[in-house]
Amino acid sequence: MDLFCVSLLLAIAASPVFSQTVCQNTLHGSCINLLSGTTHCGAGNHLVLSYCGFLEACCYGAHHTVATAAPTHAPSHGTGSHTTSSGQCGVPAVSGNHKIVGGTVATHGEYPWQVSLRYGGQHMCGGTLIDSQWVVTAAHCFQDTSKHYWTVAVGVQDRSHIYSSQVHNAILVLTHEHYDHSRNHNDIALIKLDKPVDTTTTYVKTACLPDPNENFDNNVCTATGWGALHEGGQGSRYLEEVDVPIIPNSRCNYYMGNSIYTSNLCAGYSQGGKDACQGDSGGPLTCKKNGVWKLAGITSWGYGCAQRNAPGVYTRVSSFLSWIQTTKNAH
């Protein structure tokens, strides 16, 4: 049983904030150690999560510019409005080509609630922005790592070009108190960001939470992430989307050996071919109802990727609405 996450085991020695390494570009900057507890490198300077080694980022002066500046327009591979709309949840300002494994590249801003959870500067899992300071994801993402030193990148489409303005420190990582790794039960966690993000922009918005006991059976919903494009493969550079039908738990239990809880939700095709995969863990499964996208599931586990008679298994968000609200209120 493969969890949709690549575990990272690190032995971390104490190190200075700045290393002796010069950025591998024309910025003439210095590499900053991301485990120093800061993502700032001095007044008037900038930080970009590229051009340095593992667990490092490039700190460069304001008089230098990066060749690939942050885009002000959505990439041209999709169509849609780029106007900034209100901060209403579940309504992106950009529409895609609607047509991961068997999926397509998403248009920048099409899923503005999708975030990248990063450990040591590396993408590890996905997550979903549910309000301006909180992200929901899967508990298993933190199974083999410290709950410290995580950052959250918002408004990202190309994970190889992430800018300091998009990155926020995770000040709290709160996994469900009854999470059972061996049974993949209660696979949910909340992350509190160091400060609220602006959710009224084109590329950063929140997804709506579902109603209590809302049923998505037989709806075709969308899983998104930067996970592997095939089982055992490398993660995608660009955010991918794949449409999958929600299947009833009774049928999912038949496929998955009666290992499905009522707090799970399953999606996929009996013939396989489309699924979430490694690196998509914790990311959203969203369903569009009446023009609004709702967070139906959190990518949790499965047997391989996109295999026949092996749907993807997600945490059913409607089962955890009280936990989400109570946990947020307590912190």
Does residue 1 sit in helix, strand or coil? coil
CA distance 311 to 292: 25
Burial class (CB in 10 A: 0-12, 13-18, 19+), 25: middle
Q: Which long-range contacts (CB under 8 A, 24 or more apart) does 318-327 make?
A: 318/210, 318/211, 318/212, 318/213, 318/214, 319/262, 319/263, 320/176, 320/186, 320/188, 320/263, 321/209, 321/210, 321/212, 323/176, 323/188, 324/130, 324/136, 324/190, 324/209, 327/174, 327/190
Which bin fits 17, alpha (ψ -120 to 50), beta or left (φ > 0)? alpha
Catalytic residue among 50, 116, 236, 281: 281
Residue recorded with tokens 């809880």: 261
Q: How far apart are the first and last CA of the chain?
A: 34
Tokens 């994801």 locate to: 137
Nearest CA-CA partner of 134 in 203, 214, 188:
188
Instruction: With residue 322 as reference, give the H or E element that holds it.
Output: helix 321-330
**Rounded distance between C-alpha atoms, residue 45 and residue 50, angstroms:** 15
Question: Is 158 a catalytic site residue?
Answer: no
Active-site residue identified among 46, 108, 140, 176: 140
Is 281 among the residues known to form the active site? Answer: yes
Q: Is beta strand 56-61 parallel, antiparallel or unpaired with respect to 114-119?
A: unpaired
* DSSP symbol at 225: E
- 50, 116, 123, 187: the catalytic one is 187
Distance CA 75, CA 164 (A): 20
140 tagged catalytic: yes
C-alpha to C-alpha distance for 54 and 224, rounded to whole angstroms: 26
Residues forming the active site = 140, 187, 281
